[in-house]
């Protein structure tokens, strides 16, 4: 099987061909005679521990709660969306790249805020107004 091109994650981080294991398998699902004969789906395996990724990337990936990452720290992706092996290979590599980059994004810390005095007053006024509307729905006493 042909080696995958080097995967560029950022200006300073890239993955070598040898770190990503790609194998062709038969696709699942409907597709007639062709799907049973041609190995067009691609199975991608990437070992996080054995990779040349910086420690920060490895820590973030291993901390992810993702079903595609095994307990041993291996990312397993199956690409079978397209009819050709080349397109499925590109899709698998792109999905690997997206997974790694998504893990390294640092979310902005949320600071809890208090509601303003005006919003508290508006909320209470709305509640009392709604209460008076509901109170007016009672039985009428003659």
Q: pLDDT over 70 for what percent of the chain?
A: 86
Q: How far apart are CA 23 and CA 40, in angstroms?
A: 10
As a whole-number percent, the residues of the chain with pLDDT over 90 amount to: 18
Q: Please give the pLDDT value at position 128.
A: 96
Statement: residue 127 has pLDDT above 90: yes
Please determine, for residue 42, whether its predicted confidence score (pLDDT) is greater than 50: yes
Q: Which domain holds residue 84?
A: 7-104
Please give the backbone phi and psi of residue 38, each rounded to the nearest 5 degrees, phi first: -100, 135
Q: Is residue 38 part of a domain?
A: yes
Residue 79 lies in a domain: yes
117, two tokens: 């005095």
Cα atoms found within 13 Å of the Cα of residue 141, Cβ hemisphere only: 2
Structural domain includes residue 61: yes
Give the pLDDT of residue 34: 63
Secondary structure (H, E, C), 57-126: HHHHHHHCCCCCECCCCEEEEEECCCCCHHHHHHHHHHHHHHHHHHHHCCCCCCCCCCCCHHHHHHHHHH
Domain-located, residue 128 = no
For the domain that residue 36 is a member of, what is the CATH number? 3.30.160.20
User: Is position 41 within any domain?
Assistant: yes
In a domain, 49, yes or no: yes
27-36, 44-53, 55-64, 101-110, range with the lowest pLDDT: 27-36
Q: Are 89 and 4 in contact (CB under 8 A)?
A: yes
User: What integer pLDDT is reported at residue 32 of this predicted model?
Assistant: 64
Residue 133 pLDDT exceeds 90 = yes
23 assigned to some structural domain: yes
Residue 83 has pLDDT above 90, yes or no: no
Tell whether the model's pLDDT for residue 4 goes beyond 50: no
* 142 is a domain residue: no
Which of 55-69, 85-99, 107-121 bottoms out in mean pLDDT, i.e. has the lowest?
Answer: 55-69
Number of domains in the chain: 1
């Amino acid at each position: 099987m042909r080696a995958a091109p080097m995967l560029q994650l950022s200006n300073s981080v890239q993955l070598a061909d040898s770190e990503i294991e790609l194998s062709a398998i038969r696709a699942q699902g409907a597709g007639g005679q062709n799907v049973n004969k041609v190995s067009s789906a691609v199975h991608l395996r990437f070992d996080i521990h054995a990779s040349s990724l910086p420690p920060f990337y490895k820590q973030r990936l291993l901390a992810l709660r993702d079903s595609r990452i095994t307990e041993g720290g291996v990312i397993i992706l199956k690409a079978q969306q397209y009819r050709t092996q080349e397109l499925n290979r590109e899709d698998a590599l792109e999905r690997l790249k997206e997974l790694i980059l998504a893990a390294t994004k640092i979310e902005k810390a949320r600071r809890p805020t208090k509601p303003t005095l005006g919003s508290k007053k508006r909320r209470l006024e709305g509640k009392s107004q709604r209460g008076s509307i509901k109170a007016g729905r009672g039985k009428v006493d003659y």
